Amino acid sequence: MNAPRSSAAPSSVFTDELVGLSAIYTPGVRVVAWRRDLPEPLTPYAAGLVTRRPSFERACAVYAGQPLAAALDLPGEVSEGRAALLADVQQLTQIFADLTGDHQLGLRLRALEGTMCPKWHVDRLRVRLICTYVGPGTEWLEVVDGVEQSPSPRILGLSSSLAPDHRLSPGWVGLFKGASASDDGHDAAVHRSPSVPEGGARLLLTLEGLG
């Protein structure tokens, strides 16, 4: 069944400035989206990567300030686009570490041809950074009545036909609160992966603290 939307104040903040990401610590805010444009060489390189390497995936634990070239081992010859993607992931890793105070992070950069998490759900963590370089971005809801009272890794009571309130555009950076962000878990963001059209693909970066 579709859950009724709440009349509560919006739980999403949209910002055009990096400093705006700190709004994730505002009570009642569940998602902060940093609207930004990607460097020109990055997009064609990223699009080519998912076309040439549809199974590309890098998942590793990294430390704040650690050079990421070896860990990411991006395919292809040295190019402006390859360098731009590496620099962007490096920058976002440092930003996330500075914002959260986590010194060790779980980093995952992967190409996706299907829909990874199609059901509306919340995560069991404090906060996750999500950035889609290619393809449709993560979708989320504003507050849904009842859901915030019983967060779980998978919210089965919400129909998959429930339309999202928002979606990240390519290049935007999203911070999504999880159930561990508060003692009662009520500030967790309800989100899901978008549908990927047949023949389409995504290049997705996620970051989370490891303690």
For residues 192 and 56, give the distance between their C-alpha atoms in angstroms, rounded to a whole number.
Answer: 21
Describe the strand order of the beta sheet including 139-140 as a list of residue ranges: 166-167, 139-140, 191-192
State residue 195's pLDDT score: 84
For residues 42 and 39, give the distance between their C-alpha atoms in angstroms, rounded to a whole number.
Answer: 6
Q: Is 7 exposed, middle or buried (0-12, 13-18, 19+ CB in 10 A)?
A: exposed
Residues of the chain with pLDDT under 50: 1-7, 147-153, 156
State residue 145's pLDDT score: 55
State residue 179's pLDDT score: 84
- Amino acid at position 131, single letter: C
- pLDDT digits 0-9 by tens, 81-92: 999 999 999 999
State residue 1's pLDDT score: 34
State residue 168's pLDDT score: 97
Q: So where are the chain's domains? A: 12-209
CATH fold group of domain 12-209: Jelly Rolls (2.60.120)
